[in-house]
């Protein structure tokens, strides 16, 4: 694996973003809107409740973490879709780059784009709504890493769906975070869910993150073992997603689908 080839994929994405306002603005505008909306909602809840409970670190912190996860996933898929939309995907593999180097480049591109969104979220949430990240302690680093790794896994899955079903399948990709959010326990404990949904929730790394966040800010016992479980699950999902992508890619090469890749490539 050559680092220069991976860097070339990242550099291409950098040039695309730098030269286009329509690509640059979405990196931070949607997360800013979410932070502002939920920030004022938490301030309102603090004024209408008499319990003295602070909703900012619970709800606004959850929104920030979930948006970070979404940005990571979309960062991978957007980098892939840029090659699809420009009909450049096949050209990539006319070069010496390998499929693993290409995937690594997509992941590195996601690091770059999601970091921009994370910085904007942190600055806005802290300056405008007084969200203190010291409330989460060093566990915050573990929470972010779990969400990052799982976001990478789902991003690779999204790329696989588009590779297998064609560019029109991008509409299956965008709703994935929304479909998973009821199971992840972003805004409520997993125990609120019915039994069958809890089984799904505990198979997903984000549920351990948000259960941990609520435990810390409410002063309850936080089990580091749950953080380890979430991290191990996230890494397993990354391996499975990469194997899934490789299988679909090899099938596309073997059947010739990759050579006639277009919006009509559905079989």
Over residues 127-147, the mean pLDDT reads 82
**Residue 44 confidence class, pLDDT cut points 50, 70, 90:** confident
- pLDDT of res. 128: 82
Helix (H, G, I), strand (E, B) or coil at 17: helix
Tokens of 190: 């997993």
Beta carbons of 103 and 12 less than 8 angstroms apart: no
Beta carbons of 166 and 266 less than 8 angstroms apart: yes
DSSP string across 185-253: TSSS-GGGS-HHHHHHHTTSHHHHHHHHHHHHHTT----HHHHHHHHHHHHHHHHHHHHHHHHHHHHHH
Cα atoms found within 13 Å of the Cα of residue 224, Cβ hemisphere only: 4
Average pLDDT, the chain: 85
Tokens of 36: 């502002």
Q: Is the pLDDT of residue 158 over 60?
A: yes
DSSP state of 55: -
**Residue 133 confidence class, pLDDT cut points 50, 70, 90:** confident
Beta carbons of 156 and 167 less than 8 angstroms apart: no
- pLDDT of res. 264: 46
């Amino acid at each position: 694996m050559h680092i220069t080839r991976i860097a070339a994929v990242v550099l291409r994405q950098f040039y695309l973003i730098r030269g286009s306002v329509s690509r640059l603005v979405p990196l931070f505008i949607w997360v800013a809107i979410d932070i502002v909306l939920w920030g004022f909602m938490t301030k309102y809840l603090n004024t209408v409740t008499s319990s003295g409970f602070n909703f900012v670190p619970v709800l606004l912190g959850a929104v920030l973490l979930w948006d970070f996860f979404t940005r990571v996933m979309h960062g991978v898929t957007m980098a892939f879709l840029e090659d699809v939309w420009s009909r450049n995907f096949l050209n990539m593999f006319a070069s010496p780059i390998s499929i693993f180097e290409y995937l690594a480049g997509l992941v590195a591109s996601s690091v770059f784009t999601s970091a921009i969104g994370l910085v904007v979220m942190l600055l806005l949430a802290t300056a405008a709504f007084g969200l203190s990240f010291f409330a989460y302690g060093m566990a915050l680093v573990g929470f972010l890493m779990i969400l990052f790794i799982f976001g990478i896994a789902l991003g690779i899955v999204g790329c696989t769906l588009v590779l297998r079903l064609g560019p029109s399948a991008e509409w299956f990709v965008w709703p994935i975070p929304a479909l998973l959010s009821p199971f992840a326990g972003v805004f409520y404990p997993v125990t609120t869910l019915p039994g069958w949904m809890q089984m799904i929730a505990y198979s997903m790394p984000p549920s351990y993150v948000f259960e941990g966040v609520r435990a810390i800010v409410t002063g309850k016992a936080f089990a580091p073992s749950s953080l380890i479980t979430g991290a191990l699950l996230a890494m397993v999902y990354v391996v499975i997603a990469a194997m899934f992508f490789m299988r679909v890619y090899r099938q596309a090469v073997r059947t010739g689908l990759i050579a006639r890749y277009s919006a009509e490539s559905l079989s």
